[in-house]
Structure 1
Amino acid sequence: MAAQTEGSPCWADGTFGDLEGAKRFYGELLGWTFGASMPEYGEYTQAHVDGKAVAALSPPAPGQDAPNAWCLYLASPDAAATAAKIRANGGEVLVEPMQVGDFGTMVLATDPGGTAFGVWQSGSHKGFEAQTVPGAYTWAEVWTREAEKADHFFAAVFGYGVKHLDDDAVDFSLYDLGADPVLGRMKMGAEFPPQVPAHMNVYFAVADCDAAVEKAKSLGAELSFGPMTIPFGRFATLTDPQGAVFSLFDPTTTEGEMPKVTQAP
């Protein structure tokens, strides 16, 4: 597999205080199987669908009080150069470019509104081996209260084109790399309690959103929003038993006309 285009979502991993609990939950919900944990990399554990790597789970680093959360990584040909652009455009680098064996180089950062994300310069680990199939990554959105700052930041750092949804009911942008959108941006309004931080909302594909939501609830998740059908598919947003936000998405169930978009100036 070749390295992905700069700015493309290329990997997702979750940090969980109860690693075995996270493996049980996502394994049962999404049909994941797991490779052997890697003690030399903090028990990092890859998840697979039909033998293909789709995500990873790990506990927080010793002494680190990290929240239980999902992290999306965006591809970069030069992690150090991307870290410099992050700083130059008002973001914060939390973890400086760090070589991870021969797998690649990672950066952890936040945008000016506090949304955490990762950067991945691939070595032997190119990223997702499967996408969009049930159980695999399919989409992600920046959920932020600083919408204009996010649009400027991600465009400046990763070269995205930015298009705004023509919808008075929601402030939503699409980020693209010249063709189809690769990432969304949702402005968090008053409906989001103040204690809900800016975050990257990661979507996993499922064959039946409603059935998957019921299964997630039976496994201890809480439904935050949906299920709802839009022209792109049917989705729902949940909080897993350890407090991590994620979404489920069925692209085969659609409703309504595709929305109009306007190119950002």
Structure 2
Amino acid sequence: MIEIQYRVGGPVQGHFPGHHRSSRGDSGFEFRGHASLLDAPDPRRLDLHASLRDPFGGWRVRVHAQRMSVPVTMVVDLSASMAFEGTHRKLDVVADFVDSLSWSAWRNGDSFGFVGCDTAVHPMLLQPQTRQRGAGALLAHALRAHVPAGRSATGLLQVVQHLSRQRSLVFLVSDFHLPPPLVEAVLDGLAAHEVVPVLLWDPLEFGPRTRHGLLNVTDPETGRQRLVWWRPALRARWQAARSAQRTRLLQQLRARRLSPLVLEGGFDADAVTRHFFA
């Protein structure tokens, strides 16, 4: 199992010890200021120089912030387009991601949660925040057996009800083949948390490798099928539409100062780590 190294952008407000910087506590290792001895009664941290400079003649002690934990949650789009199987089956990639992330959260002392949804949140694929070591393995097994069939991902709008009230690190996993207004509404609903959009794409879903010929194409969200003559002109139009969709999505993310993590093909734990530390 390859561990994912991740971090959050600012000090966390957790209540449990962990690996992340925080603005709480008074007996950690990161200096954050001085306080009155009455407010932080620890004579071992008495600062004589600061006490001598106190205009009121009070005793001052050094206060150090403690490292705290943060809730880590994976929110996954399980609409029908996520059933695509090209170089890899998308839900198998998600399952590998869940397994690695949940184990990494446990290693860091963080809690892990999971919310899967299409038109609504799936009760069988809902994991409240937990610190159990094997929670991710059970979820990964369920995801490998799941067959996405929902015709939309509007259930993503209900996700906020299942998240911690504390600011969390949220991995929003989807192929983002979604209407732009829905993407905006989902991102606005998650604005209170630190969101990492994970773009799960496969090279084969944006056009077949064949140069020309008759193809039976299916819209995974609606189930509609159509017979098309695959030719260079249609390939160019297809690629232009893909480029326009990608540009529009990146503009939506940049407007909210979100940096997307793109996974094309299989799961790569090192790519996830590079996203946070590159």
Looking at secondary structure, tell me which structure has more strand per residue: 1
Q: Do they fold alike, i.e. is TM over 0.5?
A: no
More contact order relative to length (CA 8 Å, sep ≥ 6):
2
Structure whose CA Rg is larger: 2
Task: Give the TM-score of the pair, scaled to structure 2.
Answer: 0.28
